Every structure is written in structure tokens, then in C-alpha cells.
Amino acid sequence: MEMKRAELLAPAGDLEKLKTAIIYGADAVYIGGEVFGMRSAAKNFSIEDMAEGVEFAHARGKKVYVTVNIIPHNEDFKYLDEYLLELQRIGIDAIIVSDPGVISVAKRVVPEMELHLSTQANTTNFESANFWYNQGIKRVVVAREMSFEEIKEIREKTPDDLEIEAFMHGAMCISYSGRCLISNYMTGREANKGSCAQSCRWQYYLMEEKRPGEYFPIYEDERGTFFFNSKDLCMIEHIPELVESGIMSLKIEGRMKTAYYVATVVRAYRMALDAYYEDPENWKFNPMWMEELKKGSHRHFTTGFYLHKPGTEDQNYESASYVRNYDFIGVVRGHDEETGLAIVEQRNKMSVGEDIEIMAPYKETMYAKILEMYNEDGEPIESAPHPRQIVKMKLDVPVEEDYMLRKPIEEKIDN
């Protein structure tokens, strides 16, 4: 009997990212509406965009989950019934919840809706998992502060039909499961309602109480210290352990990230997971997958709590910035029927004669040269410097719709 495959779950901050995630290999996506979600800075989805996204996903056998996981106050319940009914109407596959009040309303208003318990509920033990199962929860998103051994024990001591979901890639929060007040205190932006300013990643100094106004830097190097600044979680080298621990949904963080980031990360994990299921006993980590991950914006990587409790090596004391080694320069939108040239939507400047890389779903990276470029009027051009400029392009390798073009940045920079 073929083993049940773990789900690859990707973030989608808007409709373009939803479609990109599914095209590049996600089995499901999680999104936020314009209310009740934990990422208010993301573009998020109108009901109309949600409906289009659900239709796109379901046509390809994929699922869409919606976050309803803020820590709500009384006024937040005013429109919750109506919102849940809208989600049910458009065919959302599950809602991600964290608050008992929201769960109670959901069970009353949309009793057939599948409920997933958010990591915001910080489930770290099997007793809590069983409690939530008895409240009607179908899936528990365990806290990030969990080891493989702890997750295995939860799996062993909970009902078989309670699914376990866990983050395997993306930003790590300095606070327990993201329940943080630093942003609210520093900026008035409430993290628990989706407006985190990531104040923890700022540079800080010490001040001795009897010397007001005298600020003492804590030097890790000449740039200062970022002592609340965790490295990003990355578990691509540990696919067997993830699957064999009983996790049924492997989650990527990043609803505020770009479509290129989503495509890069989903594609790498899709290749790693497919290789595992093709031959679990002989699976070997391919360094190419890690190299692909590093071609998207990222912080340095850590395995978080999975293997051991994080120490100083899991913090990034040098910079709060992302490492960016590649520019995403364009996405293929189709082909010109008369000339056969690729129609490309520009995302960063590109020029004739440049050597570029082409990223495609379910395929290894291709290498190409831009041979010719034309504007929308068919006039030859040497470069495409304008944001989202539509160009027709001749390359020395064949490309298809939704392929992404990128090029290395000559000198590695932080942004």
C-alpha cells in the first residue's frame, strides 16, 4: 500500500502568489482575508480574489486554507458570522483558528467547516492536542518550539485522524509561537492582530540606570548586535525526519514574501519531497536544493528546535537584513503567435546579451542567453529598464508560460 504523502503547504499573500505556489508544486496554500488574519501588512485577499483562488486551486486538485487566527477583542466578533458564511460559500477547505471564542462561533455558524488550530495556540504537548481534538479540531499546527521527539510522542498519543502540521521553513519569532508584545510596545502595531513591525530585529544598546542618555553598544562586530534576531528555519536537509515524525503538513512561512520567493522555496522542497517518496530508504540530500533556496532572499539558516534547543549559533548577530544574491528579472506570460518569441513581464532590468537562469516548475534550473528583445510595438531594444514592462524575447532555450527568469548579482549585497 502506498504511503500517504505529506502535504506541501505554501504561503500566499495575494492571488498572484497563490497561483505561483500551486504552479510550482504546493499541495495547498494558506491565505488571509482582509480581516481576522495575522498578516495585515500582506496584501491579503478580497472575497472576490479568494473565490478566484479557490477555483484555480480546486481545478488542479489543490486546497486553500484561510487564517482566522487573530487574538480577538469583543468588537472583532461583530462581522465574524457573516465572514465565515462567505468563506463557506466560496468553498474554502479549512480555516486556521486559535481563539476558543472563534472556534465556538465557527462550530455554530459553519459546522461542516474543517478547523485547523493555529500555531498561535502554541500547542506543545499531546494533552493539549487531545483537548483541541475533542473541541472539533481536525489539524493542529504545533508550536515552532518542538523537537522531533516531542512531535513523535504527540503523534503516538493522539487519535490517528488528528493531523499534525508544522513549520519547516521561514522566519523564526523570538517570542513563543509568535505571541509577542514588543511591536505593540515600541510602535503601537499589534503583533497579535497581524501588524508586527518586527521590532525584535532592530539594533539595540544598553543604558545603565544612573547614567541616563549614555548608550552602550554590545559589539558582536563593527556593525553592532541584533540579539533578538533569529536565523531563518530551513529543514530541507531533514525531509525523512520530518515525514517520519508524523507531520502530515509541511508548512512554509512567508505570506508577506514575493511571488519569486514563494516559487523558489516551493520548487526546492517539491523536488526534495518527490525524491524522498520515490525512494524513501535511499533518499540523499542534494546540495542543489539548498543552493536553489539561497537564490531567493533569505537570512542565514537554522534547524530551529527540531534537533536541539537553539543556541548562539542560531542567532544572526550581524545584520537584520536579508541576503540577496539573485535578481528576479521576469516571468514568461506566453508566446507571440506570429514570431514565436516569448512574452515576458519585466521585474528587474535585463539586457540583450546577458546570461540568465530560468526557473521552471518540477524541472532543474536552465541556463540561457538573451539573444534579442523587442518592445510591444515590435521595435528592437537593448534593455528593459521599466517596471513590469512587457517585452518579446528570443532566448537560446525554449520556455513556457510561468517560467521565471533571474540573474546573479555580481556582488553579494544585503537589502
Report CA 49 to chain centroid distance, whole Å: 19
User: 288 in helix, strand or coil?
Assistant: helix
Q: For residues 132-155, give the mean pLDDT.
A: 96
Same domain membership, residue 141 and residue 18: yes
Q: Which three cell numbers stand for residue 21?
A: 505556489
- For position 214, what pLDDT does the model report? 73
**Residue 12: which domain range?**
7-175+229-314
Same domain membership, residue 165 and residue 54: yes
Same domain membership, residue 298 and residue 236: yes
- For position 181, what pLDDT does the model report? 60
Alpha-helical (H) ranges within 160-258 are: 182-187, 239-244
Same domain membership, residue 282 and residue 150: yes
CB-side exposure of 409: number of CA atoms within 13 Å?
16
Alpha-helical (H) ranges within 24-170 are: 47-59, 80-90, 100-109, 126-134, 148-156
Residues 405/352, Cβ–Cβ less than 8 Å:
no
Residue 220 forms part of a structural domain: no
Residues 227/204, Cβ–Cβ less than 8 Å:
yes
Same domain membership, residue 300 and residue 346: no
Residue 182 forms part of a structural domain: no
Residues 26/268, Cβ–Cβ less than 8 Å:
no
- For position 202, what pLDDT does the model report? 64
Residue 202 forms part of a structural domain: no
Domain count, the chain: 2
Torsion angle (degrees, nearest 10) of CA 180, 181, 186, 192: 70
Cα–Cα distance measured from residue 15 to residue 220, given in angstroms and rounded to the nearest whole number: 41
Same domain membership, residue 17 and residue 83: yes
Residue 207 forms part of a structural domain: no
Residue 49 forms part of a structural domain: yes
Q: Running DSSP on this structure, what letter comes out for residue 200? A: G
- For position 200, what pLDDT does the model report? 64
Q: For residues 134-160, give the mean pLDDT.
A: 96
- For position 308, what pLDDT does the model report? 80
Residue 395 forms part of a structural domain: yes
Q: Give the position of cell 537553539.
A: 310
64 has a pLDDT exceeding 60:
yes
User: 154 in helix, strand or coil?
Assistant: helix
Q: Whole-number mean pLDDT of the chain?
A: 87
Q: Running DSSP on this structure, what letter comes out for residue 353? A: T
Residue 261 forms part of a structural domain: yes
- For position 254, what pLDDT does the model report? 87
Q: Model confidence over 366-388: pLDDT tens digits?
A: 999 999 999 999 999 999 999 99
| Helix 80-90 × helix 47-59 angle, to 10° | 30
Cα–Cα distance measured from residue 27 to residue 41, given in angstroms and rounded to the nearest whole number: 25
- For position 305, what pLDDT does the model report? 86
Q: Model confidence over 250-288: pLDDT tens digits?
A: 999 988 889 999 999 999 999 999 999 999 999 999 999
pTM of the entire predicted model: 0.84
- What one-letter code names the amino acid at 156? E
Q: Report how far apart, in Å, the C-alpha atoms of 137 and of each of 111, 141, 201, 232 are.
A: 11, 10, 34, 29
Q: Which of 314, 335, 351 is the last residue of a domain?
A: 314
User: Percent helix, strand and coil across the chain, each rounded to 5?
Assistant: 30, 25, 45
Of the listed ranges 136-145, 148-157, 172-181, the least confidently predicted one is 172-181
Q: Which of 285, 314, 343 is the last residue of a domain?
A: 314
Question: What confidence tier does 231 reach under pLDDT thresholds 50, 70, 90?
Answer: confident
Q: Domain with 298 in it: what CATH number?
A: 3.20.20.70
- For position 1, what pLDDT does the model report? 44
Q: Running DSSP on this structure, what letter comes out for residue 315? A: B
Question: What confidence tier does 174 reach under pLDDT thresholds 50, 70, 90?
Answer: low
Q: Domain with 331 in it: what CATH number?
A: 2.40.30.10
What value does the CA radius of gyration of the chain take, rounded to a whole number of Å? 23
Residue 197 forms part of a structural domain: no
Same domain membership, residue 391 and residue 276: no
Most confident of 27-41, 62-76, 168-182: 62-76
